[in-house]
């Protein structure tokens, strides 16, 4: 059977990225948009994690739906009252006259979970509570506070009401057989509530994306260790892993690796075998002690990019072969062959047979976090099978002068607030160095200045990326 276009694309992507001789290690300079485009081209042939599991609703928060959820019932399941009041037939309003109250006789009470049994006659109504089933013959509700009640009757201004008012229709929210939630949707608290409203106690989701993380550098100390001259505490290990967990990933903490080629190779091989994605920080610049570049070219061909951005700049992206061996052959159908020579379906290779995606971030803490938000987050969303859309940028007035030279995109830590005119205004949080975490902690947004922009004057409009929900 001839190979599909998808299979051919996948084959050549993996061949190019993993098994061809190492390309030049000279870094290519890309814009942020070009990075996102090339990431998509690299990852799309791999597809999302294929494994699916059924989990209980309390365990489904932030998981990615594996299939559309079809409504098994109508929501709401019956016509019901939208408020406390009195239910009656809307045709009674035809008798209403301005300045002449409409009078109806109360013949019963309908409670939520306790429907009134009977049929309304002319001139009759039923006292009803919010959510209670509408009585037979009733299609309109007058609010309790809009009616005056006596021992047996109520009066209200019928001319101020329309037939069908304050009634929720059966299936008004969701109709039986319709799509309630789409595959690829990340399950939010509201989505879990919707699933519960359908009577579903569990849901089918994709396996959590597995991400192995380690930091690199001889200078790194674990928190709690005694300080020493020239050393720093490893902050990236904790901030980046926390960001991964916020995305619902299963995180494998591989600690810190010294600048030793043998140790680095061992950790990379381990990570590529254990995880879908290998995330690192540090060791990808042009420094003499940065062994990551050479090592990765041996384990799989990895591209090294200089990104025209600040903070950040170096970025490593590619595929790593898992230990144990994959070989790709140019045979009919383009199969993946394991070490046991068993052919596997190329469209969804098992996790142990898929190449691991390598994402190497800069070592400076803020540069690592910004690079994560701009590049790693959308990459992981794609691999997790999430139907993601670009995070929208908001417009705000700059409260201060921002110095900027054209030619690169700059991401400044900021605080969004209202100015004296009631306009959304933004100011920076202090020093903007790539190692200044305190200004990142103080920020609730990122000011995004595109590559073509120069200095920003006070009062000029800027793009703002809200951090709430991202970190």
Tokens of 332: 């009919």
Distance (Å, whole) CA 338 – CA 326? 5
Chain-centre distance of CA 470, in angstroms? 8
- Burial (CB < 10 A; 0-12, 13-18, 19+), residue 58, is exposed
Are the C-beta atoms of residues 151 and 166 closer than 8 Å to each other? no
Query: Hey, what domains does the chain have and what are their CATH numbers?
Result: 5-51+207-383 (3.40.980.10), 80-168 (2.170.190.11), 394-466 (2.40.340.10)
pLDDT score for 287: 58
Element (H, E) at 232: strand 232-233
Q: Which residues contact residue 402 at a Cβ distance below 8 angstroms, ignoring those fewer than 6 apart?
A: 412, 428, 447, 449, 455, 456, 462
Distance (Å, whole) CA 262 – CA 342? 32
In three-state secondary structure terms, 424 is strand
pLDDT score for 127: 97
Q: Which residues contact residue 97 at a Cβ distance below 8 angstroms, ignoring those fewer than 6 apart?
A: 158, 159
Q: Which of 319, 378, 381 is CA-nearest to residue 12?
A: 319
Strand ordering across the sheet containing 314-320 = 28-30, 302-307, 314-320, 356-361, 277-281, 210-216, 250-257
pLDDT in tens, the chain (471 residues): 333 333 323 323 333 333 333 333 456 789 999 999 999 999 999 999 999 999 999 999 999 999 999 999 999 999 999 999 999 999 999 988 877 899 999 999 999 999 999 999 999 999 999 999 999 999 999 999 999 988 899 999 999 899 999 999 999 999 999 999 999 999 999 999 999 999 999 999 999 999 999 999 889 999 999 999 999 999 999 999 999 999 999 999 999 998 888 888 899 989 999 999 999 999 876 554 456 666 666 787 788 889 999 999 999 999 987 764 433 322 222 222 223 333 333 333 445 568 899 999 999 999 999 999 999 999 999 999 998 777 889 999 999 999 999 999 999 999 999 999 999 999 999 999 999 999 999 999 999 999 999 999 999 999 999 998 777
Are the C-beta atoms of residues 183 and 57 closer than 8 Å to each other? no
Distance (Å, whole) CA 229 – CA 219? 9
Cis peptide bond prior to 311, omega within 30° of 0: yes
pLDDT score for 428: 97
Q: Which residues contact residue 345 at a Cβ distance below 8 angstroms, ignoring those fewer than 6 apart?
A: none
Tokens of 195: 């699933």
Phi and psi, residue 44, nearest 5°? -55, -40
pLDDT score for 15: 30
Are the C-beta atoms of residues 414 and 428 closer than 8 Å to each other? yes
Are the C-beta atoms of residues 453 and 404 closer than 8 Å to each other? yes
CA torsion sign, 469 to 384 to 35 to 431?
positive
Q: Which residues contact residue 33 at a Cβ distance below 8 angstroms, ignoring those fewer than 6 apart?
A: none
pLDDT score for 1: 35
Q: Which residues contact residue 466 at a Cβ distance below 8 angstroms, ignoring those fewer than 6 apart?
A: 391, 394, 416, 444, 445
pLDDT score for 327: 34
pTM over 0.85: no
Cis peptide bond prior to 76, omega within 30° of 0: yes
pLDDT score for 344: 33
Are the C-beta atoms of residues 217 and 363 closer than 8 Å to each other? yes
First to last CA, the chain: 47
Phi and psi, residue 405, nearest 5°? -105, 140
DSSP state of 18: I
pLDDT score for 12: 30
């Amino acid at each position: 059977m001839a190979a599909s276009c998808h299979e051919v694309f996948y084959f050549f992507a993996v061949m190019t990225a993993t098994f061809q001789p190492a390309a030049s290690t000279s870094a290519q300079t890309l814009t942020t948009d070009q990075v996102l485009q090339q990431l998509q081209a690299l990852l799309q042939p791999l597809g999302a994690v294929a494994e699916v599991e059924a989990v209980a609703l309390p365990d489904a928060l932030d998981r990615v739906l594996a299939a559309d959820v079809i409504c098994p019932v109508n929501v709401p399941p019956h016509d019901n009252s939208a408020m406390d009041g009195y239910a009656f037939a809307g045709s009674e309003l035809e008798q209403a006259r301005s300045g002449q109250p409409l009078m109806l006789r109360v013949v019963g009470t309908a409670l939520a979970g306790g429907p009134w049994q009977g049929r309304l006659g002319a001139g009759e109504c039923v006292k009803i509570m919010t959510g209670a089933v509408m009585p037979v013959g009733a299609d309109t509700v007058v609010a309790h506070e809009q009616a005056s009640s006596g021992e047996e009757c109520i009066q209200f201004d019928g001319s101020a009401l329309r037939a069908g008012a304050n009634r929720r229709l059966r299936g008004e929210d969701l109709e039986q057989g319709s799509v309630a939630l789409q595959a690829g949707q990340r399950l939010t608290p509201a989505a879990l509530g919707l699933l519960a409203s359908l009577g579903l106690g569990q849901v089918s989701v994709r396996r959590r994306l597995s991400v192995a993380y380690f930091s690199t550098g001889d200078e790194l100390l674990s928190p709690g260790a005694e300080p020493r001259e020239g050393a720093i505490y490893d902050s990236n290990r904790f901030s980046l892993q926390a960001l991964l967990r916020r995305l619902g990933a299963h995180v494998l903490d591989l600690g810190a690796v010294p600048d030793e080629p043998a140790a680095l190779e061992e950790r990379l091989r381990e990570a590529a075998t254990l995880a879908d994605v290998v995330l690192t920080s540090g060791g990808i610049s042009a420094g003499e002690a940065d062994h990551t570049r050479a090592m990765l070219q041996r384990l799989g061909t990895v591209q090294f990019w200089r990104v025209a951005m600040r903070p950040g700049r170096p970025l490593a992206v590619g595929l790593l072969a898992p230990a144990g061996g994959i070989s790709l052959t140019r045979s009919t159908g383009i199969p993946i062959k394991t070490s046991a020579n068993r052919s596997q379906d190329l469209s969804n290779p098992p996790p142990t047979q898929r190449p691991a995606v390598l994402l190497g971030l800069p070592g400076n803490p803020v540069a690592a976090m910004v690079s994560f938000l701009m590049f790693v987050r959308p990459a992981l969303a794609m691999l997790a099978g999430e139907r993601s859309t670009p995070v929208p940028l908001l417009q705000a007035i700059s409260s201060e002068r921002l110095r900027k030279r054209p030619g690169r995109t700059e991401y400044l830590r900021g605080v969004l607030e209202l100015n004296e005119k009631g306009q959304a205004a933004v100011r920076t949080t202090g020093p903007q160095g790539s190692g200044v975490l305190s200004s990142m902690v103080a920020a609730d947004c990122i000011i995004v200045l595109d590559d073509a922009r120069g200095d920003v004057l006070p009062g000029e409009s800027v793009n703002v990326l809200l951090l709430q929900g991202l970190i």
